[in-house]
Chains A and B, each alone.
Chain A
Amino acid sequence: MKVAILQFPGTNCEYDTQHAFETLGAETEIIWHKSDAIAEDTTLLVVAGGFSYGDYLRSGAIAKFSPVMKAVNEYAKNGGKVLGICNGFQVLTEVGLLPGALKRNDGLHFISKHHHLKVANSDNTFLQKLNTDDVVNIPIAHHDGNYFIDEAGLQELETNNQVLLRYTDAEGNIQNPNGSVDSIAGVCNKEKNVFGLMPHPERAMETLLGSDDGVNMLKGFIES
């Protein structure tokens, strides 16, 4: 198991992400954005959270033109597993590897707190360690997490089981913190090898820090 973690200027979750995956026994490598290759033995490529390029223009917009993104695109097109967390999710939508876009939160505030999420679909490798309708408690920390997709796009996501996570309360009832369409917290692509989510499962690895619900998510991310 080898996890490659992308690092742009402004990325700030790469070391947390590295620590979390190493705790689970994975080998990790941090890849600077000027690199032009992804190692062939990579089992998971993570676009980590933070504020790539200072969030200038739009969150994730400038990262699209980083030298490493060409290799990321090829890796994904060849079926490689790609995970985007928070700013990584924003980058993946900007690049077009995931559908939709992330807008400013409806309440206009930066939200940083634990939030419950319900698994909408577990028939994919990412959430293979969880069951559909499971509720997990994972931190969110974002300003632009308001997922938008048009009506036709939403229909397509539903049809293909591409909505993987929704914001809920502890009982699994919809509770939408940021205005996301259909309370969506995470989506995957049609081929189910690219997954983006706003919450931070890598920050939910120990009960001492509030929750260890991220462990089973991360285990699923690194298994094929």
Chain B
Amino acid sequence: MTAIVNISLKAGVLDSQGKAVHHALDSLHFSNVQDVRVGKQIVLQLDSDDKTQAMADVTKMCEEILANTVIEDYTIELI
């Protein structure tokens, strides 16, 4: 099973990289962009077929190391 973890700064925490990308898009005349958030994606190959167990495991990984929950939110997708 594959777990896709998306990590981004929490709403309310200023995302300077997102802001810089937004400025760059503006200067390229992509004027229809309202907001940009830059995050990171971590893809994990798991040796398990149990979705419930996998979700519990990956959540624990996010809480303990993959994300810093003081400033970041994460989402997990299992495929």
Q: Which residues of A contact B (CB under 8 A)?
A: 57-58, 61-62, 64-65, 93-94, 100-101, 103-108, 146, 148-149, 179
Q: Give the shortest distance, in Å, between A24 (CB) and chain B (any CB).
A: 34
| A contact residues around B9 at 8 Å (CB) | 103
Main secondary structure of the interface of A (DSSP, over half): loop
A104 touches B70 (CB 8 A): no
Instruction: Choose among B13, B20, B65, B66 the residue that contacts A103 (Cβ–Cβ < 8 A).
Output: B13
Main secondary structure of the interface of B (DSSP, over half): mixed
A107 touches B16 (CB 8 A): yes
A64 touches B13 (CB 8 A): no
Residue B14 at the A interface, CB < 8 A?
yes
Q: Which residues of B contact A (CB under 8 A)?
A: 9, 13-14, 16-17, 20, 65-66, 68, 70-71
Q: Give the shortest distance, in Å, between B73 (CB) and chain A (any CB).
A: 13
A149 to B, closest residue via Cβ: B70
Instruction: Choose among A57, A58, A65, A179 the residue that contacts B16 (Cβ–Cβ < 8 A).
Output: A179
Can you give 19 A-B contacts (C-beta < 8 A)? A61-B68, A62-B65, A65-B65, A93-B70, A100-B70, A101-B68, A101-B70, A101-B71, A103-B9, A103-B13, A104-B16, A104-B17, A105-B16, A106-B16, A107-B16, A108-B16, A108-B17, A146-B16, A179-B14
